[in-house]
Chains A and B, each alone.
Chain A
Amino acid sequence: SAVISQKPSRDICQRGTSLTIQCQVDSQVTMMFWYRQQPGQSLTLIATANQGSEATYESGFVIDKFPISRPNLTFSTLTVSNMSPEDSSIYLCSVATGITTTSNQPQHFGDGTRLSIL
């Protein structure tokens, strides 16, 4: 299974600023995902990031607010831009280790970034 390091683990930010979250994987993976999780609640997919292509955003999420980079097969970043208190949440990086989109392999998750906006 993949080991995922996510940084920072938590942060407190001022309204209107931006924060970039880093996700480093110990092996090459095709698909990386970024999720948002309100405390004690389920996961909401923000976008899918495949190396060599633009990220695919889910309904309700836009690139201007959540720009994503995927420079290689082991690294990705998610930026939360122009933050407001509504952006306070847990942000999770996840990877799928299968080489195809139809793989039956489970996803693996980082420990998340706990973000509070004042």
Chain B
Amino acid sequence: AQSVAQPEDQVNVAEGNPLTVKCTYSVSGNPYLFWYVQYPNRGLQFLLKYITGDNLVKGSYGFEAEFNKSQTSFHLKKPSALVSDSALYFCAVRDKGYQKVTFGTGTKLQVIP
């Protein structure tokens, strides 16, 4: 079985400050991990993924995420938040060899000008 948790329903951060959106996962094997962003009235857009290798992965729009195997976490980060980053963010996991992806409950990011 696989699962993913996003413990925060909402994260507020001031523009220009660093941001972190948390994600933890549970799989029986090795995970594929993904972050997606959803803007109002749009579908989900892929931001970045971890497959293997370097624990720090870089993605679109200046976002990055750090894979931590011991803590089973894959937190999304950005050094300096923009108002335009305000959106709904989803973490997702797929156990290698498993067909389906499991999405987290989503975290609403609000960047305050």
Known: A1-B46, A112-B42. A107 touches B101 (CB 8 A): yes
Give complex CA distance A9, B88 in Å.
19
Stretch at the interface among B12-20, B68-76, B77-85, B104-112: B104-112
Give complex CA distance A9, B44 in Å.
15
Tell whether, in the assembled complex, residue A111 and residue B106 are in contact, meaning their CB atoms are under 8 Å apart.
Answer: no
Known: A107-B101, A111-B41. A43 touches B49 (CB 8 A): no
Q: Which residues of B contact A92 (CB under 8 A)?
A: 43-44
Tell whether, in the assembled complex, residue A40 and residue B43 are in contact, meaning their CB atoms are under 8 Å apart.
Answer: no
Instruction: Provide the main secondary structure of the chain B interface.
Output: loop
Whether a CB of chain A sits under 8 angstroms from the CB of B99 is yes
Q: Mark A87-118, 1 if CB is under 8 A from B, else 0.
A: 00000101000000110101111111010000
Q: Mark B25-63, 1 if CB is under 8 A from A, else 0.
A: 000000010101000011111100101000000000000
Looking at the complex, which one of B43, B88, B100, B105 makes contact with A4 (CB distance below 8 Å)? B43
Known: A102-B96, A104-B32. A40 touches B88 (CB 8 A): yes
Give complex CA distance A102, B30 in Å.
12
Whether a CB of chain B sits under 8 angstroms from the CB of A63 is no
Tell whether, in the assembled complex, residue B43 and residue A106 are in contact, meaning their CB atoms are under 8 Å apart.
Answer: no
Interface range, A side: 20 to 34
Tell whether, in the assembled complex, residue B105 and residue A109 are in contact, meaning their CB atoms are under 8 Å apart.
Answer: no
Looking at the complex, which one of B49, B96, B99 makes contact with A106 (CB distance below 8 Å)? B49
Known: A41-B105, A112-B42. A106 touches B34 (CB 8 A): yes
Tell whether, in the assembled complex, residue B43 and residue A48 are in contact, meaning their CB atoms are under 8 Å apart.
Answer: no
Known: A102-B96, A102-B97, A104-B32. A42 touches B103 (CB 8 A): yes
Interface residues of A (CB under 8 A from B): 1, 4, 6, 31, 40-43, 45, 48, 92, 94, 101-102, 104, 106-112, 114
The 8 lowest CB-CB distance pairs between A and B, nearest first, are: A109-B43, A106-B46, A101-B99, A109-B44, A42-B105, A104-B51, A111-B43, A43-B103
